[in-house]
Amino acid sequence: MKLIIRWLLLACALVLLTQLDSGIQIRSFGSAMWAAFVIGLLNAFVRPLLILFTLPVTVLTMGLFLFVINALTFQMASHLLEGFQVQGFWHALLGSVLYSVCSLVIDVALERLLGPRFMPPPQ
């Protein structure tokens, strides 16, 4: 249940991003849900590979290159979906940073409201 609530809230965060940044466009809430799903999949499977391949650059930039990786995964989701468009790298960078902040806020709020993720309910 927590996963579905998180998914819906992240889709709402993407819709909010379209209001904050004119370079990010979403056709409908359904498109926002698909975009949140695809961004989650890219963050789970592609992002770790990008981090591994760019580890020397990430170390040299003291971790700042991770912002570029986040922007690339955000823009990659845009290229995979028709209803979600990002107008360039700088909009992807801003969008990925704001989306990450929204994700952090959503995770903390859900943790406080619904309890820890992997703990069974008390008996």
Q: What is the pTM of this model?
A: 0.89
Binned at pLDDT 50, 70 and 90, residue 1 comes out as confident
| pLDDT grade for 6, boundaries at 50, 70 and 90 | very high
pLDDT of residue 115: 78
What pLDDT score does 123 carry?
Answer: 66
The Cα–Cα gap between 79 and 122 comes to: 45
In the predicted structure, residue 118 carries a pLDDT above the cut 60 = no
Helices marked H in 21-122 — which ranges? 29-53, 55-60, 65-80, 89-114
So what's the pLDDT on residue 83? 95
Handedness of CA 110, 112, 118, 123 (dihedral sign): negative
Which residues 6+ apart lie within 8 Å of 43 measured at CB? 73
pLDDT at residue 37 is higher than 70: yes
